[in-house]
Copies of this chain bind each other. A is one copy, B any other.
Amino acid sequence: MRIGLIGCGTVGSSLVSLLRDEGDLLADRLGEQIEIARIAVRDLERERDAVIDRALLTASWQEVVSDPEIEMIVELMGDVPDALETIQSALAAGKSVVSANKAVLSRHLAELEEQARLVERDIFFEAAVAGGVPLIRALRISLFGERLSRIVGIVNGTTNFVLTRMQEDGVEFEEALSKARELGYAEADPTSDLDGSDAAAKAAIMASLAFGRKVTAANVRRTGIEGISASDFLFARRNGWTIKLLAVAEHYGTAAGSTLNVEVFPALVPSSHPLAGVRDSFNAVFVEGNAVGELMFFGPGAGGMPTASAVLGDVIEAAHNLRTATRARVVIQEKASFVPTEAIFARFSISMEVLDEPGVLARVSEVFGSFEISIARMEQLEVEDGVARLVFLTHQTALHAIDRASAELEKLEVVVRLHRSFRVFA
């Protein structure tokens, strides 16, 4: 089985060395050798891992995709302009495709699945969500007959590392981020991690598979982890929570049909919940289904070898399917309708530093009252230099009421600093 590799960074090199080390074992089990026959790279001159046979390199992905001896394309280009065209060309040439390209898949999954169906080939993408964690196949096969109600994932290792350091070391955001950079858990420009857009892409892919509906990254409401402070963790801990950036995809079945809600946001998670124990750069996805109840998948969300392992799992299944002239079921990609922002309800925590003066609590409470926000619990946490910290925990409240109240609170002179609000994960 000759396969073509397009893109040869960390994951690509790891895949090559994995196939070198485990090739005989695999050939034994599969009855056939898997061989990387050609590798397309952007820069032919770049120094590469010794495991890469330079004779296989080419600068042209077209050359690899059009090679008639190659039956499968592994696409590891990242979010570059011609990644979509590469996948489309590979399918058009009748090759099965394994891709780890969460950016491209979060925009074009439905059309790529449809194209694969028409040419009777597979497109697999286990490595696009939660790295080495075999979640995608579980959704595609094991849970195919399950009516899923919700998927909640910690799917971004950078932000989870930062939040874990803040939680466990009591440090502020910037210090935790420096640590993440130092240890290679954050890129030079970590914007797409911190602002939740990486997690949003993965949420779109998970939601598409879980609910069989067409969800793209543009359908995902998101907020990132910027502005979270060490004091937020103190409050959370005192109340039996920790803070996690969650990718949430929910399905609501009503008489009028079904609607989805797909979001990324930092949430207060009870310490006893399995997601609370997911530390550092690990990923985990919690799945709730009608019959099965609660499942969780946990593992490395990134890294060359774990991701290459997920790619290899796909390669093996695609190879098996090519040889037996079968293919995976397509996840039905019906159009989705989404819950409007106005219909999002949750419990929230809102905290702020205020002037420690008479009448301040009344002013603040008045704002909550005017947006019909009902307070379940309130704490005054500390007082120093004439400033007090107030933390409110609301009853079930509309998200947009919280947003509007926050805007009003920020205008109050007595409010020195309004902290981020957090949803309570329930």
Contacts and interface: CB of A to CB of B under 8 A. Distances in A.
Interface of A: 14, 18, 21-22, 25-26, 28-30, 126, 132-134, 137-138, 141-147, 212, 272, 274, 277-279, 289-300, 303, 305-306, 308-310, 312-313, 315-317, 320, 324-326, 329, 332
A1 to B, nearest CB: 13
B277 A313 contact: no
A299 B308 contact: no
A245 B144 CA distance: 31
A28 B306 CA distance: 35
Given A297-B297, A299-B296, A320-B329, A147 B305 contact: no
27 contacts: A14-B291, A18-B145, A21-B290, A22-B145, A22-B147, A22-B291, A29-B144, A30-B329, A126-B142, A132-B291, A133-B295, A134-B138, A134-B143, A137-B142, A141-B141, A144-B313, A144-B316, A145-B309, A146-B313, A291-B308, A291-B312, A295-B299, A295-B300, A296-B298, A296-B299, A297-B297, A298-B298
A142 B320 contact: no
A327 to B, nearest CB: 8
Q: A-B pairs with the 7 shortest C-beta distances? A: A134-B142, A296-B298, A291-B309, A295-B299, A292-B309, A132-B292, A326-B326
Nearest to A300: B293
Nearest to A132: B292
Nearest to A297: B297
Contact of A291 (B277, B289, B294, B305): B305
B293 A305 contact: yes
B18 A313 contact: no
Contacts of A299: 292-296
A118 to B, nearest CB: 17
Contacts of A298: 274, 295-298
Contacts of A14: 291
B313 A143 contact: yes
B147 A137 contact: no
A194 B34 CA distance: 46
Contact of A274 (B18, B144, B277, B295): B277
Contacts of A277: 274, 277
Given A29-B329, A146-B313, A18 B305 contact: no
Contacts of A305: 291-293
B295 A134 contact: yes
Contact of A309 (B22, B25, B28, B146): B146
Given A29-B332, A145-B312, A291-B305, 4 more contacts: A18-B145, A26-B145, A294-B300, A298-B298
B145 A141 contact: no
A387 to B, nearest CB: 36
Contacts of A296: 296-299
Contacts of A25: 147
Contacts of A30: 329
A73 to B, nearest CB: 18
Contacts of A308: 291
Nearest to A331: B29
Contacts of A316: 141, 144-145
Nearest to A272: B279
A145 B29 CA distance: 9
Contacts of A138: 134, 137-138
Contacts of A325: 326
A296 B275 CA distance: 12
A104 to B, nearest CB: 22
Given A22-B147, A29-B332, A320-B329, A141 B293 contact: no
